[in-house]
Chain A
Amino acid sequence: MHIQLSLRSGPIYEQIEYQIRAQIFSGELKAGEALPSIRTLAKELTVGIITAKRAYDDLIAEGFLYAVPGKGVFVAEHREDEIAHGKTERLRERLREAKKFARENGIPPEQFAEILQEIMEENDERS
């Protein structure tokens, strides 16, 4: 597992959750794999213990992780279709944010769609 925090973008626990989810989706974190303890995670990321606990608690509530009392926190089993559904849901979330941004900045829906199309056709070397 690897997590990088940027102090500028959103609550820390959300960043931790996002990155752990992404690594479960990508297969980098495998079902049954043990994660560091809450306190170790807090120390390694230089964040509060409650912040680290909140990230784990949320992911446990969402079913991505499970806790075994006295043993630790582990990556839960996931069916392929669940992971696929999770991915498209997260993409939707991000696009909704983009839609909100477009509306707030007076970019009409047609132009928004055009820009999305252009991005899809872009050469991926840049990213």
Chain B
Amino acid sequence: MNGLEIKNLAVDFGNFKLDATLNVPRGCVTGLVGRNGAGKSTLIKAIMRQQEASGSILYNGIPFFGNETEVLRRIACVFDSPHFSTYLRPKRLLKIVKGMYPAFDEELYGELMEKFALPGDKLVRTFSTGMKRKFGLILALCQKPDILLLDEPTAGIDPYDRGVIIDLIQQFMLDEGHTVLFSTHITEDLDKIADYIVFLQNGKVLLSEEKETLCETYRLVQAPELTDGMREEAIGVQTSMFGYTFLTRQKNPVGEGLLVKTPTVEEIFIHLLGEEEKK
């Protein structure tokens, strides 16, 4: 069962085209990785129906058209910048959001606002980046969605607050009917909690794979010399004054002076991109 089943979702801005087909498994955390301009935010907006797109999306198996109200109640999103007026105070925003989402959990709202010491009577625009992000996440969680989308939830946030946000995501995932898709540049977060990884490049899905399988598919190799045998298998070769660093699909690469390790998501991302750019 997939939380999101996305088929030929296409957006055409003229100079940029998104054309994505992918599944986001239900009950799991999927990380969306890509360079700036790869189409991550556009994809998330299209899933949230805030960006017109062709193609089809099933939300927990339900198509959008004909079930608009139900679908919109099942999904919630934290955008990279608040999508509500920051000239309001949380108290007022609470009333507005409550009116929009009948399932809104006011008890949870009070609990989380207190836990993170967010003032209900100050203008949201006076909040720090971390406070705004946490507030956005609280509003999204209290809508009681099944599917939570997060666009760069940890960007520009200090390590402590990043930990708090990661913890809230994992708290949400205690329910196996829930699904999370989050885009990020901070692949360290993905190394920790993501179950699936999707690489987006120039509006296309370059790769979509279970994280552990992905990390086990490759080895990261540092080699003082690049022999012809290695060159054939090497992906995204980087050269430094001390030698060569590259990915390989070989399970046990052997050679003089080789350092071999399991790569992180970031290392896979960098070398695969390097290989793509070469083409």
Asked whether A and B interact, the reply is yes
- Number of contacts between A and B (CB, 8 Å)? 45
**Once bound together, how far apart are the Cα atoms of A11 and B261, in whole Å?**
11
When the two chains form the complex, which single residue of B28, B166, B171 contacts A49, counting CB atoms closer than 8 Å? B28
Interface check A54, CB cutoff 8 A: yes
- Interfacial chain A residues near B173, Cβ < 8 Å: 39, 42-43, 49
B195 touches A48 (CB 8 A): yes
**Once bound together, how far apart are the Cα atoms of A51 and B194, in whole Å?**
9
B27 touches A43 (CB 8 A): no
The residue on A at minimum CB distance from B171 is A43
With A42-B193, A43-B167 already in contact, the answer to whether A50 and B212 are too (CB < 8 A) is yes
Interface check A40, CB cutoff 8 A: yes
When the two chains form the complex, which single residue of A13, A37, A39 contacts B212, counting CB atoms closer than 8 Å? A13
0/1 string, B186-224, CB within 8 A of A gives 1:
000000111100000000000000111000000000000
- Interfacial chain A residues near B28, Cβ < 8 Å: 49-50
With A42-B170, A43-B170, A54-B212 already in contact, the answer to whether A48 and B193 are too (CB < 8 A) is yes
- Interfacial chain B residues near A42, Cβ < 8 Å: 170, 173, 193
Interface check A46, CB cutoff 8 A: yes
Please list 6 pairs of residues, one from A and one from B, whose beta carbons are closer than 8 Å in the complex, sorted by A's number: A42-B170, A42-B193, A43-B173, A47-B193, A50-B195, A50-B210
User: Which residues of chain A from 1 to 26 have any CB-CB distance to chain B below 8 Å in the complex?
Assistant: 11, 13
- Interfacial chain B residues near A51, Cβ < 8 Å: 195, 212
**Once bound together, how far apart are the Cα atoms of A49 and B179, in whole Å?**
12
Interface check B277, CB cutoff 8 A: no
- Interfacial chain B residues near A43, Cβ < 8 Å: 167, 170-171, 173-174
B192 touches A48 (CB 8 A): yes
Q: What count of chain B residues pass the 8 Å CB interface test?
A: 19
B212 touches A48 (CB 8 A): yes
Q: Which 4 A-B pairs have the closest CB atoms?
A: A43-B170, A50-B195, A48-B195, A39-B174
When the two chains form the complex, which single residue of B171, B174, B176, B211 contacts A48, counting CB atoms closer than 8 Å? B211
Besides the known contacts A11-B262, A43-B170, A49-B28, 16 further A-B residue pairs in the complex with CB atoms under 8 A apart: A37-B174, A40-B174, A42-B173, A43-B171, A46-B166, A46-B170, A48-B193, A48-B211, A48-B212, A49-B27, A49-B173, A49-B195, A50-B195, A50-B211, A50-B212, A51-B212
B29 touches A46 (CB 8 A): no
**Once bound together, how far apart are the Cα atoms of A42 and B211, in whole Å?**
14
The residue on B at minimum CB distance from A46 is B192
- Interfacial chain A residues near B192, Cβ < 8 Å: 46-48
> What's the least CB distance linking A113 to chain B, in Å?
27
- Interfacial chain B residues near A48, Cβ < 8 Å: 29, 192-195, 211-212
- Interfacial chain A residues near B194, Cβ < 8 Å: 48
The residue on B at minimum CB distance from A40 is B174
The residue on A at minimum CB distance from B169 is A43
Most B-side CB within 10 Å, residue of A39, A46, A48: A48
> What's the least CB distance linking A4 to chain B, in Å?
15
- Interfacial chain B residues near A37, Cβ < 8 Å: 174
> What's the least CB distance linking B265 to chain A, in Å?
11
User: Which residues of chain A from 45 to 61 have any CB-CB distance to chain B below 8 Å in the complex?
Assistant: 46-51, 54
- Interfacial chain A residues near B167, Cβ < 8 Å: 43, 46
**Once bound together, how far apart are the Cα atoms of A88 and B192, in whole Å?**
32
The residue on B at minimum CB distance from A5 is B192
- Interfacial chain B residues near A40, Cβ < 8 Å: 174
- Interfacial chain A residues near B163, Cβ < 8 Å: 46
> What's the least CB distance linking B24 to chain A, in Å?
14
